[in-house]
Structure 1
């Protein structure tokens, strides 16, 4: 029996079959990607395809003996749906498509995904990028996120759902593209270095948002791992 995360699988309720969630950066797909998923699902009689809250397409009910072949035929990177890491970066349509957007959330989201998806951390982390303050990326319940303003980007931290929901707080406002990436990097570095094995929001609750902000600004930047 495969363990959760091994070969990118999640054991299902029946304790016999598995789910996989290919990585689809920013939830963007093409007709070719959809056709490939559909063809694999038909070939291996996968009973359920589910669009997830992380904007992935999960394939559920896979027999263990088919896991390797399915990944080989899909030719996609594995999504980090479980584990102590950056699991997802949820992104709204952004300025190219939405009349309300103030910044290019897809461009920023792709960069954040490239830098952080799958990075090992003290606890799980979910990220988001939205083009405006309406936050269709659900920034308010993400551990770390950016949303666009007319002056740049606001950085939010500490949001989460679950048994003890917590709304995210504004850490920095009106950041340029470069400063937004810098503050995200410093926030991740500070959390990675100083946190116990708990979510970012609980760390902020323990130390206070002002102390956390000072810690982030003083954080040393190590190469992205």
Structure 2
């Protein structure tokens, strides 16, 4: 595994070159108190490569608690950017759901009256090939985990979470295998996203280019080349 830890993987994101090695991921891109496995490092690095994510801009990172499976998380901003680049994307509407005088009211944006009680968020995603928008309504109680950001900006956070969930439903082929911080569960209830990521990479990548075989989890050390070869590029899933 020395090659994986020290030999950087190189790819481009928005015209910028990203170099990523297992050691970099371990040192800078893992959150939690667990020790990530070699397979989890490879999965994370290849997801970043094929989904064109720059982890050094916080577009993706790993969460690992104890011996539980690692969770690969994509930022909401990166998630939303990918949806907006889809050729059939035609915008969105989003807002919050409040209880007002005993009735549920959908408010556009993230502003409510003082007496309103925040209940949840909603979003509509428009596609050029659909007659009706894809609509999602989510509950604040289910999504808020009591973090400082949710306490400080609950209206903005629930609205953004509704957008992300609506975009995932609108573009399941390109966003279905990506998980945001809202999908990350607590330390005692971890979610194993590895099978989804394995399937995503297996569909869009030649396993000969990977440092391991997804079907078996076998780690493969690349042999040093006998001569200098022209680089072979592999494009990830496009929109």
Q: Same fold (TM over 0.5)?
A: no
Higher relative contact order (CA 8 A, sep 6+): 2
TM-score (norm 2): 0.27
TM-score (norm 1): 0.29
